Structures are given as structure tokens and as C-alpha cells.
Structure 1
Amino acid sequence: MKIAFLGLGTMGLPMAANLLKAGYNVQGWNRSAGPAAKLAERGAVNAATAAEAATDADVLISMLADDNATRSTLLEGNVLATLKPGAIHVNMASISVALAVELAQLHQARNVGYLAAPVLGRVNVAEAGQLTILAAGDSALLANVQPLLDVLGQKTWYLGDRPEQASATKLAVNFMIASAIGAMSEAVALVQGYEVDKGEFIDLITSSLFAAPVYKGYGQAIATDTFEPAGFKLALGLKDVRLAQDAAERVNVPLALAGTLRAAHVESLAHDEGHLDWAALSRTAARRAGQI
């Protein structure tokens, strides 16, 4: 089985590396040359273009940054046009519901299988091959690529036969993560207003009522002001909050909290914090409280 892997960023590189370790033939491509060279050192073939990587691929896995990168690579970069009939494309990035619907239609017209399979987990989880995979699309296609997904993740959740169902689920989860970070940020500002140590507060909540990975991971970053290197950039968090709003509007679901979160993200970007880890959203609450 020949696998093409497009997008070797923070998450894509360890995912592709795990496929190599499992013995799969991987041809990789990335916009910048550095990550592709790192993958080549581990045994992958380094493609000069995305279309070259897709040539004769049985399975294409893409892990691109956003809708624009996905569209420009797959469509303008002729990747979809290059894929052979019967190939399967597994899109593991977070994209809009609208683009998921469009891609499903375009793939079907070319007799290329399309699955949406965005993931939950940060880079350390990707390195360990323990991602949670949210999959939607033709169940027969999923069965064909499940051995690959088993290398990348600890569990694959099948959410339905329409790819946009996985995209909507991923956006709903990321909306919840943004909500958790926003709530922790304002709660930390509150206790600091009463001179309670924020590290002690985070330890309190994450060892009792909120002993969950999202609160523990982002909470520790907030407690120690550790926002670099970014496991997931704040700017990407804003992108997903916006996409969650768009997805909700398509089905007439009001997301009142999303508007508040979006404003906080935009404020953070106005302070040039978009490159920092998503936990840096806590700086917005602290600024509003006059604490920084």
C-alpha cells in the first residue's frame, strides 16, 4: 500500500513517522522543506510537490492547516486531479462543514473515496499514536483504512456516512475546549484579584472537580505562563470558533457563548498573541482585570 501524506506540521510529522515505524511506504510533502527532510531521514520519500506525492497513491492522508491550505493544495495544486480512481483520501485536519460537503462531492465525481477523520489530541498524543479519531463517510472505505488509523490513534469513533458529520463533531469539541480555556482564564483572574496563587488554584480544580486532560493540560500552561512552543496556536483556536459558529448557523443552532469567546480571541490577536499556545487566551482575561 502506497501512502501519500500531505502536511507535516506539528501534528502531521509524528503521525507520518508512526506510519513509517509501522512499516508502511510513505511519500511525504510539506509546504516548507524542513519537516519533509526530517521525515525523509526516517525513511520516507520526499516529494517535490503535493501532486507528485499523490501520484499512484492508494491512500492519501492530509493534515493541512485550514480551509485555504486544504483547498489550495488539493484543488489548485492538482492533487485531486492526480489521484487514481479508487484511491481513498482521508482528511484528518479540522475544516469547515461547507468545505467537507464540497470535497465529498468533488471526490465522488472523480471516483475517489473521501473520509473525514479529524483528530483529538496534542503533539505528545500524536507522537504516542494515541489520538482519538473522529471518522465519517462510507463505512466500507473506513474499513479499508482502519489499519492505518489504528497506528495513529487509540480509538476511531464512526459518526455517520456523511463526512461533514465528523467535521461538525470536531468543531463542537474544539468549541468546548475554547470554553474551558475561557472559563479557566476568567476564574484565574478572579482568584488573583483576591491574591490567591493561580498555580495553587489550578492544582485545586484539576485534582478535584475538573480532573480532565483539557483542564490539566491548558491549566498547567496558564498556571506557569508557558505559551511557547505552541501545541496548538491561539490563531487556530480562533479559526475553529469561527467555523463552529458557521456550522451552527447552517442548522439554526445558536451558540451564544461562541460570540464571547471569539471576541476574546480577536482581542488576543490584536496583542500579537496568535502564535502562542491556545492557553495564552488567559492573558486576555488578565489584561481586562488590569493584572498585566
Structure 2
Amino acid sequence: MRIGFLGLGQMGHAMAKNLVEAGHDVTVWNRSPGKADDLVAAGATRAERPVDAAQGDVVMSMLADDAAVEAVVFGDGGIAGAPALHVGHSTISVDLAERLAASGAYVAAPVFGRPPAAQAGKLFVLAAGDPGLVERCVPLFDTIGQRTFRIGAAPATANLVKLSGNFMIMAAVEAMAEAMTLAEKGGVDRHMLLEVLTGTLFGAPVYQTYGTILVEDRFRPAGFAAPLGLKDMTLADAAATRYRAPMPLLGIVRDHLRATIAVEGEDVDWAGAALAVRRGAGL
């Protein structure tokens, strides 16, 4: 299949590499062209403009935020009106997802999984859009992921599920940070607490993955940078306002992300929100 791939950050680069290795004809574009060098050496073609990567069957995008997606789609040299089906993997607002769906053939397919999962082709894909268009993409989703969830016919629903899930990740980080802080102040080792919790009531991957990050203080290098996490919580808040859904815990995790970025800088992992909880307790 002739595929374009736009955006070669940690996630996008790994996804594009898997597509190249699967034998697809892949054309890649990134704002910083150097990030495509190894993919080109492996057989991909470098595009000068986003639209140049959108002349085949499908063009997939994995970009940082709404502004980046808008620039690549609607900006100079953008893919709006190009022949390829646009598959959007970025975590974006519900409003922008609706705008993209109105602008042409579009499938929303945000993913769950950190960079190691992307490298291993083990992402979870949340697909929404016209069922026929989604079906065309299944072979590609099978290459980058371990399971595809078909959310519905409206692309924006996949983005709403993604924002809901990211909020729940941060809620889990907040809960673990508070519990670990309480236990540590009472003389219980964080590692022991995590072993007990994940070995009994909380064995889900989110507690195992992020719990390990918290007990090991493994906040750099960031698998998912805190400013991106703050962006996602802001998008979730916008959706909550749109749908009149109260989310009081969302305000807490947003504030802890803000505080962590202010103290630690923008290169810290979003799980570093736990540091704000610890500082508040004098640890």
C-alpha cells in the first residue's frame, strides 16, 4: 500500500518504521527533515511538503497538538484536498476532529501506548469513521497495533475516548502518588507498596507501568512530556465544558502538571505530576 506518514516524533517514527519494515511504500514528512534520515535509509521516501506524502492510498498523521494538525492539513502545502485518505493518530480536540471529518475522507485513529509499545507494534488503536474507510485501514492498524477498537461512525468519538483514557491515566498517577506519599511518610517503602497493590487489587498495566516509573523516579527521558499531558487535560476540560460534564479531579491533575512543569521544566515525563504531590508533603 502507498502510505504517507506525517510527524516523526518518538511515536510517529516508531509507527512509520514498522510500516516500512512491513513492506509498504512509505513516504515520510517531518518539520525537522533530519528525523527521517534512518527511515529513508531503510527504504522510505522523503517528502518536501505534507501534500507530497498524501498522493497515495492513505496518509497517516501523528502530530503534537491541534495547531500542528491544522498547519499540516489546512496550511501551505497541506493535505486538504489531496487524494489519500487521511488517518489521524494525533490526540486532538473534539472540535478539530469534527472539522477534519467535514473537510474530506477522514478516519480518526488515536492510540494508547507509550514509545516502547509503538516500537513493538503493540499499540491499541481507537478507530472511528465511515465503516468502509475504517476497514481499508485495518491492515495498517494491525501493523502498528495489537488490537483495534471500532468506536463508531463519527470520527470525533475516537478522540473523546482517547481524551477520557488519558485523563484516567493521570487520575491513576495522582492516586498512586498520593498513596505512595502517605505510605512513605508512615515508613513504608514505595516499592513494597507497589508490589502489594499490583499483586492484589491493582494489577492493570497502567498501575504496573506508571507505578514503576513513580517508585524509580524515572521521569527523564520523558516517554510522554508533561506539556503534552497538560495539553491533553486542557482538551479534556474543553470537552467537559462542551458536554456539561463535571470533572473535579481533572482540575487537580492539571494543577499538578502545571506545578511540575514550572519546577522541573518541559522535558519531564507527565508522570512527574507525582512530584508535586511529594513536594506538598515535604518529601
Q: Which band: TM-score by shorter chain?
A: over 0.9
Give the match for residue 32 of structure 2: 32
Offset at residue 82 of structure 1 (A): 5.4
Mapped contact 1:50–1:77 kept (Cα < 8 A): no
Mapped contact 1:273–1:280 kept (Cα < 8 A): no
Correspondence for 1:97 among 82, 90, 94 = 94
Matches for 1:181-196 after TM superposition, within 5 Å: 181-196=173-188
Identity value in percent: 44
Cα distance in 1 for partners of 2:90, 2:102 equals: 18
Offset at residue 207 of structure 1 (A): 1.9
The Cα offsets for residues 80-128 of structure 1, whole Å up to 9 and x where unpaired, read as 24512xx310001110001001111122xxxxx1000000111111111
Matches for 1:199-278 after TM superposition, within 5 Å: 199-278=191-270
Equivalenced residue count is 283
Tell me the TM-score normalized by structure 1.
0.94
Cα distance in 2 for partners of 1:77, 1:217 equals: 40
Amino acid at match of 1:129: G
**Which structure 2 segments of 5+ residues have no match?**
none
Give the match for residue 110 of structure 1: none
Mapped contact 1:28–1:44 kept (Cα < 8 A): yes
The Cα offsets for residues 188-208 of structure 1, whole Å up to 9 and x where unpaired, read as 111111121112212221222
Matches for 1:1-292 after TM superposition, within 5 Å: 1-54=1-54, 56-81=55-80, 83-84=82-83, 87-107=84-104, 113-291=105-283
Mapped contact 2:253–2:273 kept (Cα < 8 A): no
Q: Secondary structure at the match of 2:239?
A: helix
Cα distance in 2 for partners of 1:183, 1:238 equals: 17
Cα distance in 1 for partners of 2:17, 2:43 equals: 9
Q: Secondary structure at the match of 1:3?
A: strand
Runs of 4+ off more than 6 Å: none
- Bigger mean CA deviation after superposition, 163-172 or 236-245: 236-245
- Bigger mean CA deviation after superposition, 249-258 or 178-187: 249-258
**Which structure 1 segments of 5+ residues have no match?**
108-112
Cα distance in 2 for partners of 1:71, 1:272 equals: 30
Q: Secondary structure at the match of 2:264?
A: coil
Cα distance in 2 for partners of 1:106, 1:82 equals: 8
Offset at residue 233 of structure 1 (A): 1.1
The Cα offsets for residues 214-255 of structure 1, whole Å up to 9 and x where unpaired, read as 111111111011111211111111111111111122111111
Mapped contact 1:10–1:123 kept (Cα < 8 A): yes
